Amino acid sequence: MRRIEIFDTTLRDGEQSPGVALNSDEKLQIARQLAKLGVNVLEAGFPISSPGDFQGVRRIAQEVRTLSVAALARANAKDIECAWDAISVGESPRIHTFLATSPIHMLYKLQKSPEEVLELAIQAVRLAKLKVGDVEFSAEDASRSEVDFLAKVFSGVIKAGATVLNIPDTVGYATPEEYAAFLRAVMERTTGIEKVKVSVHCHNDLGLAVANSLAAVGVGVHQLECTVNGIGERAGNAALEELVMALHTRRDQYDVDTSIVTTEIARTSQLVSRLSGMVIQHNKAIVGKNAFAHESGIHQDGMLKDRSTYEIMLPSDIGIDAETIVLGKHSGRHAVHQRLTDLGLDLGESQFEEVFSQFKILADRKREVTTADLFSLVDLKTETEDQIRLDYMQVSSGTHLTPTATVGLLYNGQRLEDATCGDGPVDAAFKAIDKVLGTEGKLMHYSLQAIDGGEDAQGEVTVTVKFGDNMVGGRGVSTDIIEASVLGYLQAVNRAFDRGWIKIIEKNAS
Ligand SMILES: [Zn+2]
């Protein structure tokens, strides 16, 4: 059976989703999980876009060595040098350079003639090829480009040394039948096409990203670009889990397979959702909360008689365990350790002790500690030591009350405290933190989700905060949502402080 390669761009295109800001620890954590998931190529970022992105890509290239790590670069020398600097430490690096080829993009965005674009594309690939053997060239907005021109550009870059040609539907405009015919025409007219891999990258503006990618499989492409949970620019990219499970479940139709370990899908999806703050809609295919829930009596009756009546996949195919071992306040060190090991979370001794003490605190506040709760405890422990910590908080709000918050923080061996009011309890608490520290954060994005259901579920808050010109993300988890919000905000403050983006004015020491 033919094997198709999965090129994951969660950390590049996905990270460009509005409201998403991952730090380099979080990116590395996702990259490690993508390696476990079995993706073939991991696009780690766009190094020229910021020093933070550069560092993030470099760290991934250095530490994740079982797959190919790609970095994006526009078709110019500066971008290509920078991308190469970031990934050259990797095991099998790939430079991914791109240039628009559609009449609209060439005329309005690039303001270049087709001849100039052809020349620039060839030069870029030639330059990248001097650095590394594996060079991918993307024709941005390919699906709205003219077939003959595109074939000419592709023939040129193949001669210059490109190893992968990407034919993206950048704006999500294509339909499956049309896209398949277009790909066929371009491939037929490109000289040397048999020497390279062909890739597609589809956006979901019309909800057709997965359908278009599957149509491309029928044409014989070699690589599919996608993101976990389908996150990405605007309506996002083709969802990795949907593509993989469609190919897996309907092998009879597509006759290809992938190297994806499908039982890692649920875990990867949850990790990306948690760290990115992009909540998964309940009815999302494959990984939504309801994807395997059968509500109606007729369906439940059928399921009890035989699962195959209404179920085309099993939850266990994507790594959802049927039986959940319940952990609670009476669970001991051994049970918790065993559960973490079963989940593939091998912690060092001191890290385990920290997680276990957090577990005890949580188990006092919550009847059942679920798998998702355990993951959230472990995630939080991967953070570096915070300089500014929460000592206490007190918030009051009500129907006819002005919300007021008092916050005590520990910094530099001292307790700093102050109080203020706000538009709501969360706003008041954030303002109180800013007042204590003398900082001025602007909240750009706030999301709250429950970790597993139930009335005593933990709330997880993800925030993106702007300090001056810099955006930074933070996450907090607690059974109290105001406390979760405060912890999330404080994490953002700590990260901004670590990077020297804010200074703390100590004035209210007590
Ligand atoms: Zn894209």
pTM score over 0.85: no
pLDDT of residue 323: 47
| Residue 13 CA to ligand 1 centre (angstroms) | 5
User: Distance from the CA of 506 to the center of ligand 1, in angstroms?
Assistant: 45
Q: How many whole angstroms from 129 Cα to the centroid of ligand 1?
A: 23
Q: Which of 37-51, 272-286, 319-333 has the highest mean pLDDT?
A: 37-51
Distance 29 CA to ligand 1 centre (A): 22
Q: What is the CA(191)–ligand 1 centre distance, in A?
A: 26
Of the listed ranges 79-93, 157-171, 292-306, the least confidently predicted one is 292-306
How many whole angstroms from 373 Cα to the centroid of ligand 1?
Answer: 33
Cα 445 to ligand 1 centroid, rounded to whole Å:
22
449 pLDDT tier (thresholds 50, 70, 90): confident
Rounded Cα distance, 4 and 243, in Å? 11
The amino acid sitting at 200 is V
* CA dist., res. 368 & res. 495, Å (int): 32
d(CA 406, CA 421): 9
* Pairwise CA distance, residues 468 & 440, whole Å: 8
Lowest mean pLDDT among 250-259, 384-393, 422-431: 384-393
Mean confidence (pLDDT) of the chain: 91
- If one compares 18 and 487, the residue with the highest pLDDT of the two is 487
Of the listed ranges 204-218, 219-233, 241-255, 450-464, the least confidently predicted one is 450-464
pLDDT at 342 over 90: no
Q: Of 89, 101, 100, nearest to 44 (Cα)? A: 89
> How does pLDDT run across 431-447, given as a tens digit for each residue?
999 999 999 999 988 88
How far is the C-alpha of 312 from the C-alpha of 128, rounded, in Å?
45
Q: Ligand 1 centroid to 31 CA: how many Å?
A: 18
The β-bridge relationship of strands 388-396 and 414-421 is unpaired
Instruction: Read off the pLDDT of residues 108-129 as tens digits, 9 standing for 90 and up.
Output: 999 999 999 999 999 999 999 9
Measure 205 CA to ligand 1 centroid, in angstroms. 11
Report the distance separating Cα 241 and Cα 229, nearest Å. Answer: 7
CA of 482 to the centre of ligand 1 (A): 36
Ligand 1 centroid, distance to 172 Cα (angstroms): 9
Q: Do 136 and 80 touch, CB atoms closer than 8 A?
A: no
Site of tokens 């188990």: 363
Mean pLDDT to the nearest integer, 308-327:
77
Cα-to-centroid distance, 167 and ligand 1 (Å): 11
Percentage with pLDDT > 70 across the chain: 95
Distance 140 CA to ligand 1 centre (A): 9
Please give the pLDDT value at position 57: 98
Distance 454 CA to ligand 1 centre (A): 37
Lowest mean pLDDT among 56-60, 261-265, 456-460: 456-460
The residue type at 412: N
Q: Is the pLDDT of residue 499 over 50?
A: yes
pLDDT tens per residue, range 346-404: 788 888 998 999 899 888 888 788 777 887 787 665 555 788 999 999 999 999 999 99
Interatomic CA distance for residues 49 and 414, integer angstroms: 38
Q: Percent of the chain having pLDDT more than 90?
A: 65
Mean pLDDT (whole number) for 457-464: 86
User: 295 or 93, which is more confident?
Assistant: 93
Residue pointed to by tokens 């607690």 = 478
What is the per-residue pLDDT for 407?
A: 96
pLDDT score at 442: 94
Ligand 1 centroid to Cα of residue 148, in Å, is: 23
- The pLDDT assigned to 507 comes to 64
Q: Say whether 54 sits in a helix, a strand or coil.
A: helix
Quick check: 229 pLDDT over 90? Answer: yes
- Given CA atoms 98, 99, 103, 105 in this order, what sign does their dihedral have? positive
Distance CA 292, CA 390 (A): 40
Number of helices followed by number of strands (H, E) in the chain: 17, 16
Q: How far is the CA of 168 from the centre of ligand 1 (A)?
A: 8
Quick one: tokens of 384? 């570096």
- CB under 8 Å to 318, separation ≥6 — which residues? 241, 245, 262, 263, 265, 266, 286, 287
> Is the four-CA dihedral 471, 96, 31, 87 of positive or negative sign?
negative
Expressed in angstroms and rounded, the spacing between residue 74 Cα and the centre of ligand 1 is 13
What is the distance between the alpha carbons of residues 499 and 285, in angstroms, rounded to a whole number? 39
